[in-house]
Every structure is written in C-alpha cells, then in structure tokens.
Structure 1
Amino acid sequence: MSWAILTRFVRSMAHSSGAKKHIQIDVSSDTVCPWCFVGKKNLDKAIDQTKDKFDFEVRWHPFFLNPSAPKEGVKKSDFYKQKFGAAQYERIISRMTEVYRGLGLEYDTSGLTGNTFDSHRLITYAARQGYDKQNALVGELFFNYFCEGKYIGDRQVLLEAARKVGIEGAADLLDDPSKGAEEVNEELEKYSSHISGVPHFVINGKHELSGGQPPEVFVRAFQAAAN
C-alpha cells in the first residue's frame, strides 16, 4: 500500500470514528412492568441496528407502579385478577403472551409479584460499576420475572442476577435495607416524579418517548437527537 493511499485510509478511519455521536438514554421503569421489558428489547434492537453510527449510554431509573405492594409478595394471578377483574385479566394475559412471543419470549404468569424497592436499590447501585452492567442487570431481572416466574423481591433471585452479570458487593447492599435507599429516592424525584407511566425514555435530555415503542421509532429519535 502506497503512503498516499495509507494516509487517505487513516484519515478516512479518523473521520468515521469522529462522526460517531453520543446518545444518552435515560429510562424510567419498574421491574414488574411488562411493557418495560418490551421497550427494552426494542431499544436493544434499535441500538444494535445503529451502533455503527452512535455511541450509546443507557441509564435506568426507578419508578413504582405499586409503591405499597407487600415485600413478602403475593401470587401474580391473584393480584392482577383482583386489580383488573377476571375477564380483563385474561385479555391482558392473552395480549402480553402474543407480544412476548413476537419477541421470541414466553410470558410466564406464575410466581409472585410484590414490592420492587430492593430491585431498584440493586439497579441504582449497579450503575456505579458501569452502565453496561446496569443495563445487563435490568435485562436479567426482567427475564427472571416475566419469563421464569421468579420473584424479584427475593434476595436470592437478586443476588443470582447480580452474580450473573458481574456486579460486586450486592450481598452487602441487600443485607442493609437502608443502603442505597436515599439514592433510589433521589433518582425517583429527579427522573420519574413528573411522569405517570412507564417505560419512559429521554434521549440526550430532550427527546421523550413513552411505552413499548417499536425499534424504528427509537432509530428516528436517535437521528433527531444527533441532529
């Protein structure tokens, strides 16, 4: 390769790398929100489709669909039948089963639901060890809850998810109910106090999206934010 061609190649590579724009995505969600998992899966697809154009940083923030949910947990089916009524419950389950199958997932309605504060303490804590690890933890907890019937209020479930994605110090955090609580409340106030539903996405601090949007909607938002 001649020096002139090599120089042009290096300049071209430098220009290409310089053209990559930073996209920060702040997501408010709850770990028992089925559409939040749908939103995450579609966001992941959009990121994968555009990773050659953008550098991404995804940050997760707490939201509580049911702040007074019991810590010990109750059967999902009992809770949602009581909340929505039996007929509406069946329609919701049918719809979510269909949506999840479209994502290659099996929607599991077994197990318990309940208070999500500990899961948010762990997610908020995980950010200190890197947003990639935090993002992986969120995905693992969603999968545990929605596809494996695991209760994410359970200490062992949380510890196993943390171990799987390489988060250190999770046991010390979870053993002390006060650890990380202030940080969760601060995040809640800063990112989620002005919204009424989740998932809620803020891209580069200005472009907002709500709900389990399809990948192409995220891609358009990335492009708008980059411009």
Structure 2
Amino acid sequence: MRKIKIDIVADVVCPWCYIGYARLQKAIKHLEEEIDVELYWYPFELNPAIVPGGESLLQYLARQYKTSEQACRELQEHVTKLGYELGIKFDFDDDMSIYNTRKAHQLVQWAMQNHCQQPMIERLFHDYFYHHLPLDNDEVLLNIATDVGLDRVLCEQVIKEPSWSGAVASIERQWLQAGIQVVPAMIINEVHLMSGAQSEGVLIKQLREIASHSNRSRAH
C-alpha cells in the first residue's frame, strides 16, 4: 500500500473548500485499495477582519467580487447544484452571515494534536452550511468540539489563549509566503500543489501518478 500525505489549506466558511474536500473523499474512496492517505488541515481565513457577530454573506460576496447581490445568488445556486451531486445540502438564504473563523481554526489545530481533525472539520462545515451556526461564538465552537470528543475545558483554554491565535496567524503567513492564494489548496507529499476544487477524476489521476512516482523514487 503506497502512502500519501495531503496538507489541506482551507477555510470552514468557504463552500469551494467543502466541495473540494467532498471530491477528495470520493477520490480517496476510489483509491482505497491502492493508496493510504493521511490528511492534515491548515488555516486560511477568507477575511480575518470580519467583525464579531459576522456580516451579511450576500453583502460580503458582492463587495468581495465587485458584483451585484443577484449575481451572488446565482453563484450560490450553482454551488448548491454542485454540492447536491456530492451529497452536500447547501442552504443559502438572504439572512445568512459569514463569520470570523480564527477561533475555529485554533480548535482545528488543537484537534490535530488529538487526532480529531477530520470530525472537527466535518462538523464545522456541516454546522455552518446546513444550520448557519455562528462559528465565531465560543459556546457554539465548544459544543462542536465536545461532540467530536475533545475536552471542553482544554478547548476553552485554546479559544481564549492569545498564543493559539498567534499560532494560527503565523501558519497563515507561512502559506501566503509559500504562494498559497486560492483555497482549497492541497499540497501532496509537501511538493505537489493542487489549487481549487478539482474534479474527482483529476484528483484520482493526480494522486495515482504522485503515489507511483513517490514509490519509484523510494525504490531508487
């Protein structure tokens, strides 16, 4: 069984990151008899300047992409259709907000140390896009962390400790300095970069080729 390590740089309020992850999971399932994949998640905040309590998602998107709110609704409809094909039920509406995700990323990094990143990431995606939960709210985050098996008291310390916020900011700077500007970004075996929500077919092809190349390199 060939092994591959994938570092995923993403934000949990990014629908393309959710789609990219779902496609990657399908590709991994397709290759499960050939390749053993280890996933690690790293932070990328779409907008670290969002105020506490969030802001209107439609207004944020319209400002970010310099377009109309109606054009943003049409984009959301397109994303919803793509998600449906993957079993993701995006539930966009005009009242939906986007939130600062720094604290969420702090918990995701803590979850890595506790071998609990996957369930943490999946719950954050699900609870934001399905239930529109405010991911900048301490109680919401602590409830999610507890549900996936993390210690609530320790997680509260992680949320409130400035050094954890600083660690996330430092990791983000490192990825930016490495040239990561589009998410999701998948770095395979610390060498091969795949940017954006690639199709399942492309992922299968690339993972298979990289695994084969890595195997030949070790053989020499």
Give TM-score, length-normalised by structure 1.
0.83
Q: Which residue of 1 aligns with 2:60?
A: 79
Once residues 99 and 157 of structure 1 are traced to their aligned partners in structure 2, the CA distance between those partners, rounded to angstroms, is: 28
Alpha-carbon distance, 1:188 to partner: 1.4
Pick aligned residue for 2:39 from 54, 58, 71: 58
CA RMSD of aligned residues (A): 1.7
Q: Please list, as runs of the form range in 1=range in 2, the aligned pairs for 1:1-227 lying within 5 A after superposition.
A: 20-83=1-64, 84-110=67-93, 111-130=96-115, 133-168=116-151, 169-174=154-159, 176-193=160-177, 194-227=179-212
Alpha-carbon distance, 1:187 to partner: 1.8
Alpha-carbon distance, 1:114 to partner: 2.0
Once residues 55 and 105 of structure 1 are traced to their aligned partners in structure 2, the CA distance between those partners, rounded to angstroms, is: 25
Once residues 105 and 62 of structure 2 are traced to their aligned partners in structure 1, the CA distance between those partners, rounded to angstroms, is: 25
Once residues 161 and 100 of structure 2 are traced to their aligned partners in structure 1, the CA distance between those partners, rounded to angstroms, is: 13
Q: Share of identical aligned residues, percent? A: 27
Once residues 190 and 208 of structure 2 are traced to their aligned partners in structure 1, the CA distance between those partners, rounded to angstroms, is: 14
Q: Quick check: 152-161 or 115-124, which moved more?
A: 152-161
CA displacement 1:8-67 (0-9 Å, x = unmatched):
xxxxxxxxxxxx111100111111111000001111111122122222210111112112
Alpha-carbon distance, 1:134 to partner: 0.5
Change (3 A) 1:93 1:116: same
* Secondary structure of residue in 2 paired with 1:148: coil
CA contact (8 A) 1:61 1:192 kept: no
Alpha-carbon distance, 1:99 to partner: 1.1
**Which amino acid letter does the alignment assign opposite residue 127 of structure 1?**
M
Alpha-carbon distance, 1:120 to partner: 0.9
Task: Provide the aligned length of Structure 1 versus Structure 2.
Answer: 205
Change (3 A) 1:113 1:22: same
Q: Which protein shows a greater Rg? A: 1
CA contact (8 A) 2:58 2:69 kept: no
Gaps of 5+ in 2: 213-220
Once residues 201 and 63 of structure 2 are traced to their aligned partners in structure 1, the CA distance between those partners, rounded to angstroms, is: 36
**Which amino acid letter does the alignment assign opposite residue 180 of structure 1?**
W
Once residues 177 and 91 of structure 1 are traced to their aligned partners in structure 2, the CA distance between those partners, rounded to angstroms, is: 40
**Which amino acid letter does the alignment assign opposite residue 86 of structure 2?**
L
